[in-house]
Chain A
C-alpha cells in the first residue's frame, strides 16, 4: 500500500506543482496537526500570519519516513514595536521533483487583537522537464486575553492561479484555552474548497519548565500527532511524529531560538 501510494503521489506530482499541500512547517505543527495557538513558534506565521513567536527556527523531516522525500524549513521572525516581520522558506526535495516556498509576512498587534498578512512565493521544478511558480496571499486575525485566544487564517485569499487553474482557498479557525497553569487545549476547524470540514483537537501539558508534551487529533483525514518540546534557556528542541492511515509515521525535528520581544 505504501509503494502504491508513493507511485500515485509521483504520478500526480506534475499536477501538484505549486499547489499548496498544507504540509507542516515545523515539528510543533506536525505534533499539533497544524494548530498554531497551542504552542506558537516562528513558523506559525507561515500558517497564520497573525500568530508568531519572534525567533529563528529550522526544521527537517522525511515525509512519511521516506528517505527520498525530504523537507527542510527555515523561519525567522523579528519583532519591531507592535509589528513582527517574518521571513521563511520551506523546501521539499525528491529525485524527480522539488518545491520551494518562500514566505514574507508582517503582523501588527493592538491591545488584544493582531492582524497579519503573508506573501508566499511557490516555485516548483520537475527535474529535466519544467519550472513553474505562483504567488499566494494569506491573511490572518488573532484575538487573545490571559486564558483564551482565537485565530482565523485565510490562505490564498486572492485565489491565485496556477497554470490557468484556481488554487484552493483554505480557512483555518482555531481557539486555545488555558485550563491550568500547565495545561492548555486547542481546537480548530479547517476548510478547503471541495473538501469536508476537518476538525482538529490538540492538548499541551508542561511537565517541567524545560519539557512540554503536545498531542493532537485531526478528523478527516484521521491523524494523531504527538511531540515533545525540550526548552533550555531560549533554545527549543522539538521532536514529533504524526500518523497516516496508509503510510509510515512522519518524524519531524525542529530547533529554534527565541528572540525576546
Chain B
C-alpha cells in the first residue's frame, strides 16, 4: 500500500462545463517527482511543464516544476484559480502497487 498525493486540474469549455485536463500525482515514496496523468499535449499541460508555476505559497521568485514535488502540488490551487482553469486542493489516496 502506498500513499499518493494528487491534484486535479479542470478547464471550462466554451459551454461553461468543466472538463478535467490532468491529474498531478506524487507517490509518498518518490517525493521528488510529480507525474502527470492526462493528455501531455494539452497546451496547458505543455505550459506547466515548460514554464512552471509561480511559488505563491512561499513567495520565492523561482518557478516550480513537477520535479519540485510537494511544493509544486501545493501551489497548483493558487496558480489555477480563475474558474476558466481551476485546480483542486491536494487529495490523499492509498493505492496498491
Q: Are A and B co-members of a single complex?
A: no
Q: Using CB atoms and an 8 Å cutoff, list the residues of chain B in contact with chain A.
A: none
Q: Using CB atoms and an 8 Å cutoff, list the residues of chain A in contact with chain B.
A: none
